[in-house]
Amino acid sequence: MLLAPIATRATVPGVFPGDLIKLQSDGDKTTHEDEAVYYFDRDWFRHPFPNAKVYNSWYKDFSGIKELTMEQMAEIKLGAPIAYRPGTRLIKIPSVPKVYALEPGGVLRWLETEAVAKGLFGDDWAKRVDDVSESLFTSYKEGAPLTARVLPTGSIVRRASDDSLYFIEGYFKRHLSPAVAESIRVQEKFVLRSSSDLADYPDRADVVANDLNFTDAAEIWHIDIPGPPLIDFPVSLRSVERGKEQGITAFRVSSAPAIIIRELRVRLTGELWKNGQPMLTDLKFVDVAGQNMFGIKQLETSGASSETMIFSGAYTMLPNTVSVIELRATPSMSMTPGAKISIVIERDTLKMGEGLSDAKITDFYPRSAFPVTDLQVK
């Protein structure tokens, strides 16, 4: 038996990549097949908009939709559903309380705390949240959580100082002129307001009119630009027990790209030595799984009240992962009760590389100096 050849390209006249298409109305209000709207992509697939909220994140009205016969529609292969436009709505599923921001390519960034959500999307951030069915949620992919107030890629921000519009792209910001903003269908209701000057985001080339990287609802033209690694410090003050190995400071790394941590420098200040003996021994960095990252080190400068220790190696983190990294040590039984030691990890000497190329990462958050952890001996 001979099989009919499978068409690889639609042959519908007058339909071009980027068009919106639907079936011609059959005039019957009891049927709904003719209500579905599709986006026609460059590979000649039609992608359905799963609901009006997703459609409205890309388009402000229903003008310009082309109507096709059933035979014409059958010529066009069916593709995956369209995702929400990045930088517009926040989403969640009814069974899980997590709220996510959206980045290009259907990447979800969990807003870890309400403080992060408010800092990025304002006090009324909850009004941006849409519930998504669990069946549709599986078409998205989860990225690294947002543990700090760092704008996700896809955000469009209006700077308060001069009312300028900017598109956030990974580490950078790109200016949008009014004409370009209109050409790429920016809707003011989705624009974020920034009270800062956005100086944390270096400038990149301005966005040009009708750039398919911004208007293609199928996101085939999307160029993946991961956001910067985020580092935060959940502990700033702690007490320690003598004679027991324990964590003396900790920080957390959340990263969208794969990274390699090459070097950490730690400055310790306080009662480090007493009667010629070190008051902290067996210092080591361990990850959330308890893996020793760089080996074990000892204090070396006898009698000093301040010492910088260098830990180096090649600790690898996979893409879209979070790791809690703890500095552990054993305080001596000879330490004076109530004595204090300050610990700071030097931000400017932290060496990280991209996981694939190992090119040095020079930009990560926070951009300010890392906080000091103060230890007090019990």
Distance separating the N- and C-terminal Cα atoms of the chain: 85
**SS3 at position 260:** strand
**SS3 at position 50:** coil
Query: Can you read off the two tokens belonging to residue 111?
Result: 């807003």
As a whole number of Å, the CA-based R_g of the chain is 27
Sketch the domain layout of the chain as residue ranges: 20-78, 84-225, 230-377
From the CB of residue 244, how many other CB atoms can be counted at a distance below 10 Å? 10
What pTM was estimated for this model as a whole?
0.78
Average pLDDT, the chain: 90
- Compute the distance between CA of residue 155 and CA of residue 87 in angstroms, rounded to an integer: 4
Give me the architecture of the 230-377 domain, per CATH: Sandwich (2.60)
C-beta separation of 168 from 151 below 8 A: yes
Is the pLDDT confidence value at 352 over 70?
Answer: yes
Confidence tier at 7 by pLDDT (50, 70, 90): very low
- Compute the distance between CA of residue 311 and CA of residue 169 in angstroms, rounded to an integer: 33
What is the tens place of the pLDDT at every residue in 156-191?
A: 999 989 999 999 998 789 999 999 999 999 999 999
Bridge pairing between strands 203-204 and 277-278: unpaired
- Compute the distance between CA of residue 124 and CA of residue 298 in angstroms, rounded to an integer: 51
What is the tens place of the pLDDT at every residue in 39-67?
A: 999 999 999 999 999 999 999 999 999 99
Query: Can you read off the two tokens belonging to residue 239?
Result: 């007490």
C-beta separation of 200 from 148 below 8 A: no
What is the tens place of the pLDDT at every residue in 100-151?
A: 999 999 999 999 999 999 999 999 999 999 999 999 999 899 888 998 888 9
